[in-house]
Structure 1
Amino acid sequence: MKTIKGPSIHLAQFSDARKPFDTLAAIAGWASELGFEALQIPAWDRRLFDVAEAAESQTYCEEIAGILAERGLVVSELTTHIFGQLVAVHPAYDAMCDAFVPEQIRGNAAARSEWALRRLELAAKASRRLGLTAMGTFSGSFLWPYFFPFPQRPEGLVEAAFDELARRWMPVLDACDEQGIDLCYELHPSEDLHDGVSFEMLLARVGGHGRCRLLYDPSHFVLQQLKYLDFIDIYHDRIGMFHVKDAEFNPTGRQGVYGGYRPWIERAGRFRSLGDGQIDFRSIFSKLAQYDFGGWATLEWECCLKDSEDGAREGAAFIRDHTIRVTEKIFDDFAGTPLSAARTKAILGIS
C-alpha cells in the first residue's frame, strides 16, 4: 500500500499582487513556513510560472524546481483549469471567458479554443520536464445553460455536445499520453463534466482513454448532494489527484441546491475552510489509503468566512493529521501459524 503525499497547496486562490504572494519564490517561502511540502502551480498565472517557457526549456524547469528545493518544497502538479474552461464555451459565457485570453483573439470563439488547446499541450510538456505524472483541469461546457431539462431539450442535444467535447479533448489526451501525464478532470458545477455520469459519457467517447482521469474534490459533491464516499468506491481506479476542500449544505424552507442566486455567504451550499464544514475527511483518507492512492493531498482554500492565511495555516496541519501512514504489517501476524501443504490439507480433511 501507499501513503498519500502531502500536504500540498494549490496556489490559484493565494497568488496576488501583494507580498508574499506576488512571486513564486516569496509564496514558496510562505508555504514552507506553514508546513507545506509541495506547491500545486496554476499554469495560467504568469506571475508564478511561464508555461510556454517551461514546455521548451529544461533549464527553466530546473530553475523552478531549484527555487522550491531551497525552501524544502517540490511541485506536486500543474493545474490548467482556465485553459480547460476555454476548450468548450457556450456563447452565453463568451464575454466572461474572453477575459482569460490575449486581447487579439477576443471575440473569436474558434481562436480562443485553439489557443486553450495549445496551452494544454504546452502544460503537458512542462509537466514532463518537471518530472510530474498528473495535471488537473476543467472540461469546459457546451451544455450548462441546459442542465435542467426545461424547456425540454431538443433530441440529440446532449449527445451532440459530448461528441464535440470528445473531439476537442482527444488530441489533448493523446498529447498527455505522449508525455506520460494523466489528465485529471475536476468535476465541477458549470462544467459539462460535473458528476460521475457525465464523466462516463466523455470516457466512453474517448474509448476509455487511459489518461482520462479524475481530480477528486468532495466539496463539489456536497453542494450537489452526491455521495462522495461511494464515488471513491466506484471510481477509485480513475482518481489521479485530490483536492482537500471542505463544504457544507444547509437547506432551508427558502432555498436548496440551486441557491436562489444568492452570494456565497447566503447560499445553502457553501465552501468552507478545512474542518469547518461537514465533510467526513477521516473516511475519505481511509478509503484513498485502502485503494492505494499515492498522489498528493492538496489544500484548495475557498471559504466565504475565514481569512485565507488562517485557512492555509490550519489546512496544512489538518491534512497532516488526517494522512494515514499505511501499515507494513498485518496486525494479527503474531498469531499466524505457518503450515506445510500436507498439514493444511489435513486440517481441511483432504486426503
Structure 2
Amino acid sequence: MLTACLPQLSLAEIASWAGAAGYQALEVAAWPRTGGRDFEAAHLPVTGFDDRAADETRALLGRHGLDISALAYYENNLHPDPGRRAEIHTHLKAVVDVAQALDVPYVGTFVGRDWTRPVAHNLDEAQKVFPELVEYAGERGVRIIIENCVMEGWHPDGYPGNLAYSPELWEWMFSLGLYLNWDPSHLTWIGIDPVTTIAPYADKIVHAQAKDLQILPGKADRYGFFGKAVRREDPWDTGWWRYRVPGRGQVDWNAVVDALYENGFTGTLSVEHEDPVWSGTEEKVKTGLEIAHRTLRPLIVA
C-alpha cells in the first residue's frame, strides 16, 4: 500500500497497522515536510537520512514483516518555474539516495508538464531533463518509475498535466530510461482498456498500483470528457467519475491480475487509496484499505 493516504501518521504507526492488516509491503511516501503536493506525506526523513536512520527503518519494517517496494515522490519534473523545478529535482535525487541506503529498487515520480507550453516543447524539454536524473538513479542501483496518472488538475483547463498517460507516451518515456508504475484507473477514464496495455509493455511494468475508478451514471452526458467547466471549484473534480478502492469501481481485477501473471509480472501491486467514500477520517481510510486487501488478496499467488 502507498502510505500517502495516511499523512497524519508516522511510518511506525502505519507499519504497525499495515502488518497487522495483512499487507506485505509499503510504497513509502517521501515528500518534503514543507511545500509540494496537497497531502505532503513525509514518511521518511529524506533530508539528513543517515546510516542510523537506515538501520532503524529496516528494523521497524522487520518487526512487522514488511518490505519497501518503492519510495514515492510524485511531482512535476517539468514545472514551468525554474526555481520550483530545481527544488523538485534536488528532492528527487535525495529520495534516490535514501532508496539506495535502504536497498529499495524503485523511486516513483511523474514526468509532469510545463502547462504554459505545447506538448511538443515538453517532450523536447524532457529529453534534456530526464537522462541526467535516470543516470543519477542508475549509478545508485535505483530505477525511476513513472505513474501513468493524467494529473489533469495541474493544468489550468483540466488537460493532461503528466505526459505519461497513454501507451504512445510510454514508448517515448521508455526511450529515456524510465519504467512504468502501471495504474489501471487512469486508463479507464480516458477510454483505454487497461488489460490490453499489459502484454505489450510487460517488460517495462516493474511496479503497479491498485486503484479503482467509478463512472458516475449520466454525468458525462452533461459535462463531457473534459469535465466541469463553469463551477469547477476543485480542479480535480471532473464531475463524471471518481476514484474508488479496488472492488468498488469498474476495473476488472480478476482480468488485471491474471494478465499481469500471464505476462511475467513479479513486482508489487500497491494499493493507492484516493476513494472519497472511504476518506475523511483515519478510521474510514483504514476501512478502505481493508476493503482493498479483501478484494485483492484472493487473487494473489502466495
The aligned counterpart of 1:52 is 47
Give the SS at the match of 1:50: coil
Deviations 1:21-40 (A, max 9, x none): 2x211121122221112211
Give the SS at the match of 2:5: coil
Give the SS at the match of 2:203: helix
Q: Does 1:221 align with 2:208?
A: no
The aligned counterpart of 2:2 is 10
Per-residue deviation, 1:59 = 2.5
Distance in structure 1 (CA, Å) of the matches to 2:191 and 2:241: 10
Distance in structure 2 (CA, Å) of the matches to 1:67 and 1:222: 37
Gaps of 5+ in 2: 34-41, 151-160, 279-283
The aligned counterpart of 1:152 is none
Moved more, 279-288 or 159-168: 159-168
Q: Which amino acid aligns with 2:172?
A: M
Contact 1:39 1:74 in 2 (8 A): yes
Distance in structure 2 (CA, Å) of the matches to 1:294 and 1:181: 17
Contact 2:96 2:137 in 1 (8 A): yes
Structure number with higher helix proportion: 1
When the two structures are superposed, what TM-score results if normalisation uses the length of structure 2? 0.84
The aligned counterpart of 2:285 is 308
Moved more, 215-224 or 29-38: 29-38
Deviations 1:268-289 (A, max 9, x none): 2211122110101111111111
Per-residue deviation, 1:199 = 2.5
Per-residue deviation, 1:172 = 0.5
Distance in structure 2 (CA, Å) of the matches to 1:231 and 1:324: 22
The aligned counterpart of 1:246 is 212
Aligned-residue sequence identity (percent) comes to: 23
Q: What are the within-5 Å matches in structure 2 for residues 1-351 of structure 1? A: 9-16=1-8, 21=9, 23-46=10-33, 47-54=42-49, 57-82=50-75, 85=76, 87-90=77-80, 109-143=81-115, 157-189=118-150, 190-204=161-175, 206=176, 209=177, 212-250=178-216, 252=218, 253-261=221-229, 267-306=239-278, 307-325=284-302
The aligned counterpart of 2:156 is none
Per-residue deviation, 1:251 = 5.5
Moved more, 254-263 or 131-140: 254-263
Per-residue deviation, 1:45 = 4.9
Contact 1:138 1:191 in 2 (8 A): yes
Deviations 1:270-328 (A, max 9, x none): 11122110101111111111121111111111112233221111122222112135xxx
Contact 1:265 1:305 in 2 (8 A): no
Q: Which amino acid aligns with 1:123?
A: V
Contact 2:181 2:208 in 1 (8 A): yes
Per-residue deviation, 1:196 = 1.4
Q: Which amino acid aligns with 1:223?
A: W
Q: 1:278 to 1:138 in 2, by over 3 A?
A: same
Contact 1:236 1:291 in 2 (8 A): yes
Q: Which runs of 4 or more aligned residues in structure 1 lie more than 6 Å from their structure 2 counterparts after TM superposition?
A: none
Contact 1:285 1:324 in 2 (8 A): no
Q: Which amino acid aligns with 1:254?
A: R
When the two structures are superposed, what TM-score results if normalisation uses the length of structure 1? 0.73
Give the SS at the match of 1:179: coil
Gaps of 5+ in 1: 1-8, 91-108, 147-156, 326-351
